[in-house]
Amino acid sequence: MTLRTILKRLVPLLTLAVLVGLLSLLVPDFLGLRNLRGLLLSVTLVGTIAATMMLVLAMREVDLSVGSIVALSGVLAAVGMSATGSIALGVLAGLAGGAMVGFVNGVLVAGFKVNSLIVTLAMMEVVRGLAFLASGGESVAIPLQDFYALGSGGVLGLSWPIWSMIGSFAIFGLILKATVFGRNILAIGGNPEAARLAGVPITRVRIIVFTLQGLVAGLAGIILAARITSGQPNTSIGLELAVISACVLGGVSLSGGLATIGGVIVGVFIMGAAQNALNLLNVPTFYQYVVRGGILLLAVVADRLRQDGRLPRIPIRFSKTDRSETQNV
């Protein structure tokens, strides 16, 4: 491995380091233990979902419905617990709801061959509507106090939301790197027709990935409901943008075929640190929209430039260093 390879591989991490360095100088209290713990907690929602979004993007698809799934599953869990008095049934309702939405996304994209951007844009609206319908338009209080432990309790000094993010990173990072299923995802993203002709079961893989995405968004929604002790139909609007931004900042290519969990983790923390700093500096919310959108634009322009640098006109040439950087992490 050449020095250049190592440097390239470290770019996201170095970005994060520079950002943290700058913020610790500019923002009072940024490096305080209390703030860092808050920062960690604040990225759990985005981080948990970013791991499966990585799989979706690596497959050359996108899922815009995750924010709505978070709301729907939180509401379903709250309604389920109110109605049955059982934590288990409520959680099951939330998870099943999320997985169902993901499955429908997958069938529409893989089975009916509709563009995933449009499918999940439509589903984003449909699912948000379902969340309002299921809740009657109001926030649904959760009467079972034991359930709140899922949001605030934990082990080894880390709360359950943080564990859920760590678990999501570990499981889906491993799936992407070390299983045939994960490599098939990258092959489909890299060249769908070649993957199909080489015997990759592309329809099945696509449906499973979307279903996983729905399931994980559902889990994140349930944990969020535990943190805020209610199911909120209007929560997490715009969450999909934060999740996709984190992935793209972490080097996941929007043209598919390239993704690493390490990059995604760094991307999640870049997003989180920027958001945290804006809060500490008391930047009004209106500006925060502009900054978040700007970060996403920067990330996709960087993605585009990277590809153009790597993909000059025919014949396509890739340097060896690029190769080992992009898929061997």
Partner 1 sequence: MSAMITFHQVGKTFPGVVALDGVSFTVAAGEVRALIGENGAGKSTLLKIMAGQYAPDSGELRIDGVAQRFTSPRDSQNAGIAIIHQELQLFPQLSVAENLMLGMLPARAGFVDRAALRARAIAVIERLGEAIDPDMRLGALSIGRRQMVEIGRALLRQAKVIAFDEPTSSLSVRETERLMAIIGDLKASGCAIIYVSHRMDEVYALADSATVLRDGRHVLDLAPVTADDADRLVGAMAGRTISDVYGYRPRAAGPPMVEVAALAGPGVAAPVSLTVARGEILGLFGLVGAGRSELFRLIYGATMPDTGAVRIDGEAVPPGSPRAAIAAGLALCPEDRKEDGIVPLAPLRENLALPWRNLTGATALLRRHEEQTGANELIGRLRIKTAGAETAIGSLSGGNQQKAVIARWLWAGARVLLLDEPTRGIDVGARSEIYELIYRFAEDGGTVLFASSDMAEVLGVADRIAVMREGVLAGIVSRDEATPAGLLRLALPQANQASSNQDTIPA
C-beta of 6 vs 290, nearer to partner 1 = 6
277 exposure class (CB count in 10 Å sphere: 0-12, 13-18, 19+)? buried
3-class DSSP state of 195: helix
Please report how close the Cβ of residue 201 comes to partner 1 at its closest, in angstroms: 6
Please report how close the Cβ of residue 249 comes to partner 1 at its closest, in angstroms: 20
Spatial separation of the C-alpha atoms in residues 260 and 251, rounded to whole Å: 8
Please report how close the Cβ of residue 146 comes to partner 1 at its closest, in angstroms: 36
Please report how close the Cβ of residue 42 comes to partner 1 at its closest, in angstroms: 34
What distances in angstroms separate CA 113 from CA 105, 116, 328, one per listed residue?
11, 8, 31
Binding site for partner 1 (CB under 8 A): 178-181, 183-184, 186-187, 190-191, 193-201, 204, 257-258, 316-320, 322-324, 326-328
Please report how close the Cβ of residue 177 comes to partner 1 at its closest, in angstroms: 8
C-beta of 287 vs 318, nearer to partner 1 = 318
Backbone φ, ψ for residue 214 (5° rounding): -65, -40
* 187-196: burial string, b at 16+ Cβ within 10 Å, e else: bbbbebeebe
β-strand partners of 230: 141
Task: Evaluate whether 73 touches 98 at the Cβ level (below 8 Å).
Answer: yes
C-beta of 133 vs 178, nearer to partner 1 = 178
C-beta of 118 vs 178, nearer to partner 1 = 178
C-beta of 154 vs 262, nearer to partner 1 = 262
